[in-house]
Structure 1
Amino acid sequence: MLRWIVLLVFFATYAFVAAFARHRAKGVWIGVGALVLARLLLPGQDAEGVLSPRGIVFDAINWNVLGLLAGAMLIADLFADSRVPSMLANWATHYFRSTRLVMLAICGLAGFISIFMDNVTTVLIVAPVALAVARNAGVSPVPLMVGIAICANLQGAATLIGDPPSMLLAASFRMTFNDFFVHQGRPSLFFAMQVGAVAGGLVLLFVFRRAKSAPPRMPAEPVTTWTPTVFLSVMVAFLASASWIDPDFRWLAGTGTLTLGLIALLWGVWRHRPGIWKLLTRYDLPTILFLAGVFVMAYAMQGFGWVDATARGVIGLVGGSRVGAFLTLVFASLVLSAFIDNVAYVAVMLPAAKAIADATGGGAFLYAAGLLIGACLGGNMTPIGAACCVVSVGTLRREGHHVSFWQFARIGIPFSIAATAAGSLFVLAFWR
């Protein structure tokens, strides 16, 4: 009976997270609490201790990933507050001959920044410049703000530190920072995402086709400090070299990044920067708590056999076809992630990708890469599919521009389909 309770609680938690995204951390831990309570009321039905305190603390939760996320977010917040990203955005407005190209460059910049920091922060950083460009050029800011959000979401999956689903993949496959560029001697996810970005960029170029006027000139914003940029550079260099000491991605990345983040925070406090306490109050602790809870829920789904059942369902649908299984995973992930949280989805489906690989004889990374591409880009299809899309629409609403579901989808769906198709074909070409 406990096995069925795990499934029921999982779907109930998923529904809560989808309906009340602002309270997703509370929702997932209520779900974990319900599972632990059910285990106590039904003794003997968890023989392997999946939901025991030891199982939760030492087996389910990946502390390396949590440390990596916690430290990276500290450095990212300090970097955002240094005005370096705003300087880069202002620079983009001075080097292109048409507003359309400036808009595309701003979207590209949002994608670049999102490689190193979370998508929501990226949108908040770039949004003021984007709104000013649209206002001064006399064009609607809606396409540009949507473009910023979906480009940030795409590039977040390109590296280990860009997005929680990438961290989940790294933890599951023991991938280092460098493995996102070259894995087992073959081009990896970073290049797949760049191929997808080119395809998506062509879609945006068509969306921006009417903005042909000369670009507006934006006043340059002075950089307050370059030190957070140094911290960010050190973090990237550290993660790129950490695989020499910890090739299995077990402890060093999280420990080192968290330590560096705390050093950066101490620097901020020591410097008495204006707004340092405001920065601390906006620190995204709920995301860390949510991810920890997702680890427990996913471990329970795997421990009680539901991941294997999902894999058998996919195999039964496509038979032994590797390409069929890959495309099924990509398509299902693309559609489902347009409406549900992709972190929990990826956490549960990564073990299923391995099980599918065992059954079809293909490499597990092929299916995991397809899963990640579909899950991350699916969030771009709707205004509720990813947190950065929600923030982008909210920013537009505060500016007096109300974006309907279909206004967003008209840009997000073709962008997602083009980027997913291109990235998936790239993965198939090298990993089939």
Structure 2
Amino acid sequence: MDIILASLIFIVSYIFIMTERVNRAVVALTGGTLLLATGIYSPQRAFMDYIDWNTIALLFSMMVLISITEKTGLFSYIAIRFAQRVKGRPMPLLMGVSILTALGSALLDNVTTVLIFVPILLKITKLLKLPPFPYLLAIIFSSNIGGTATLIGDPPNIMIGQAVDHLTFLSFILHAAPIALIIFLLFLFMLYFIFRSQLAKSKINNEELHKIDAKMYLKKSPLLYKSVSVLLLTISGFMLHTALHTDLTIVALSGAVLLLFLTEKELPTEHVFQKVEWVTLFFFIGLFSLVGGLQEVGVIDEMARAIVLLTEGEYVKTTMLILWVSGLFSGVVDNIPFVAAMIPVVKEFESYGIMHLDPMWWALSLGACLGGNATLLGASANVVVAGMAEAENEKISFIRFMLYGFPLVFVSLIVATIYIYFRYLLPFM
């Protein structure tokens, strides 16, 4: 009975989120509250086991850092200079944003990257009177593809790296980065093909653009130096967190608290908190609660075990099924809980006499990270971008996003299938 009830609450909530008739945070929180009220899980289980407070704290910290830095005019300055550098041409701007986002997501993590880039992008599109949707779409897709390339780029990779000792930062560079680069190049081609006609119609007044003095937007004050210094220090902490043996959330929280302390007299904390995307944060809390209900009743665990039963433990079939199931499932539900359920299942294959598990780990990583592009709920970065865009009255439709996302994921999984088969499975066979 609990399985039916939890599944029903999740499905109904998901339908409401898709139709966008009610605010998605309200829907997700309502679903989580119903799971508590019906006794699917206890408040302690919900708050201690299922809501990922590390992700919530990381998002909150970066929102604080970005909101303070934005007050200095730095993002407006960067936006204008970048637009002037590409002479305001829509397509080079689209490609440039995609490349920078992918690089940032690989070197930092995709959530942090979109928190930095989206405010800049929205300022550029507003300045040039360009449609923001293609650029927001490019940022989301690029962040997830770029995050696939490294250990710290996407939460599923971090989880796999923590579970498997020999899969180091260098391992992801050698094994995940090449296929991420191939898929990213294909994505750029698809992006150009899809939006070239739409963006070609946009008329840019290049003379007016170059008349703008970007320096006028930059407020050279102690607030600027403090915010930039702490932001760079935090980003450096992200890049060095493995060497420092420090969690990403601790780095982000430390940076946010330090900057709040240093800028309290110039920018009161209550003003900073007003700029935090609370709707996005509460949506995450509700989403984690909904998925937690599926975990509590064993739906996700049963899906993982079904992979083993369906393939009867056959090596090639199991590896490919892990890739496609993780890719398609991660497009519907946040990939973090699915990867958490799959890690012990993959480890269990050793008891069946399969000692070479690396292809399965790479299949799980690629499927979970690339599958996040399918819908707005597929990855944390997607939800963050949607929330920030909605705050600027640039709402991203769930259905419209999905029409672009699913074809990209399908192509990505086909390419990943070929890559895994020829690089890992064929030599092993």
TM-score, length-normalised on structure 2?
0.70
Equivalent positions of 1:34-183 (< 5 A) are: 34-39=34-39, 51-96=41-86, 99=89, 100-109=91-100, 115=110, 117=112, 119=114, 122-133=117-128, 141-142=130-131, 145-157=132-144, 158-159=146-147, 166-167=154-155, 170=158, 174=162, 182-183=170-171
* Closer/same/farther in 2, CA of residues 31 and 393 from structure 1, 3 Å limit: closer
AA partner of residue 12 (structure 2): A
* Closer/same/farther in 2, CA of residues 112 and 260 from structure 1, 3 Å limit: same
The 8 Å contact of residues 18 and 399 in structure 2, kept in 1 or not, is answered as no
The 8 Å contact of residues 71 and 260 in structure 1, kept in 2 or not, is answered as yes
Which residue among 274, 281, 292 is the counterpart of 1:281? 274
Query: 1:265-321, CA deviations, whole angstroms, 9 ceiling, x for partnerless residues?
Result: 333432238xx7555323122333333344344344234321122123344555531
Distance in 1 of aligned mates of 2:163 and 2:180: 17
1:332 lines up with 2:328 in the alignment: yes
Distance in 2 of aligned mates of 1:303 and 1:404: 27
Equivalent positions of 1:223-242 (< 5 A) are: 223-224=218-219, 225-242=224-241
Distance in 1 of aligned mates of 2:294 and 2:369: 22
AA partner of residue 92 (structure 1): F
The 8 Å contact of residues 308 and 318 in structure 2, kept in 1 or not, is answered as no
Which residue among 266, 270, 279 is the counterpart of 1:271? 266
Unaligned runs of 5+ in 1: 40-45, 136-140
Query: 1:301-352, CA deviations, whole angstroms, 9 ceiling, x for partnerless residues?
Result: 2343211221233445555313421442255247xx3xx5x53xx2442234
1:292 lines up with 2:285 in the alignment: yes
The 8 Å contact of residues 25 and 279 in structure 2, kept in 1 or not, is answered as yes
1:16 lines up with 2:16 in the alignment: yes
* Closer/same/farther in 2, CA of residues 426 and 92 from structure 1, 3 Å limit: farther
**What corresponds to 2:4 in structure 1?**
4
TM-score, length-normalised on structure 1?
0.70
Partner SS state of residue 57, structure 2:
helix
Partner SS state of residue 270, structure 1:
coil
Query: 1:53-111, CA deviations, whole angstroms, 9 ceiling, x for partnerless residues?
Result: 44334333333333222212211333344433343333334445793434422444455
Distance in 2 of aligned mates of 1:333 and 1:72: 28
**What corresponds to 1:138 in structure 2?**
none
AA partner of residue 205 (structure 1): Y
The 8 Å contact of residues 323 and 367 in structure 2, kept in 1 or not, is answered as no
Which residue among 368, 371, 383 is the counterpart of 1:372? 368
The 8 Å contact of residues 228 and 264 in structure 1, kept in 2 or not, is answered as yes
* Superposed displacement of residue 198, structure 1: 2.2
Query: 1:386-423, CA deviations, whole angstroms, 9 ceiling, x for partnerless residues?
Result: 5546876997989xxx99977x7886666555556556
Partner SS state of residue 271, structure 1:
coil
AA partner of residue 25 (structure 2): A
1:309 lines up with 2:302 in the alignment: yes
Partner SS state of residue 237, structure 1:
helix
Instruction: Give the paired residue count.
Output: 390
Distance in 2 of aligned mates of 1:389 and 1:61: 20
Unaligned runs of 5+ in 2: none
The 8 Å contact of residues 156 and 369 in structure 2, kept in 1 or not, is answered as no
Distance in 1 of aligned mates of 2:290 and 2:390: 30
Distance in 2 of aligned mates of 1:266 and 1:132: 33
* Superposed displacement of residue 153, structure 1: 0.6
Partner SS state of residue 112, structure 2:
coil
The 8 Å contact of residues 101 and 117 in structure 2, kept in 1 or not, is answered as yes
Distance in 2 of aligned mates of 1:426 and 1:191: 9
* Closer/same/farther in 2, CA of residues 191 and 324 from structure 1, 3 Å limit: closer
The 8 Å contact of residues 58 and 253 in structure 2, kept in 1 or not, is answered as yes
Distance in 2 of aligned mates of 1:214 and 1:289: 38
Answer with 420-429 or 27-36: which moved more. Answer: 420-429
Answer with 212-221 or 346-355: which moved more. Answer: 212-221
**What corresponds to 1:200 in structure 2?**
187
* Closer/same/farther in 2, CA of residues 318 and 23 from structure 1, 3 Å limit: farther
1:351 lines up with 2:340 in the alignment: yes
The 8 Å contact of residues 97 and 139 in structure 2, kept in 1 or not, is answered as no
The 8 Å contact of residues 10 and 297 in structure 1, kept in 2 or not, is answered as yes
* Closer/same/farther in 2, CA of residues 428 and 29 from structure 1, 3 Å limit: farther
The 8 Å contact of residues 200 and 416 in structure 1, kept in 2 or not, is answered as no
The 8 Å contact of residues 235 and 257 in structure 1, kept in 2 or not, is answered as yes
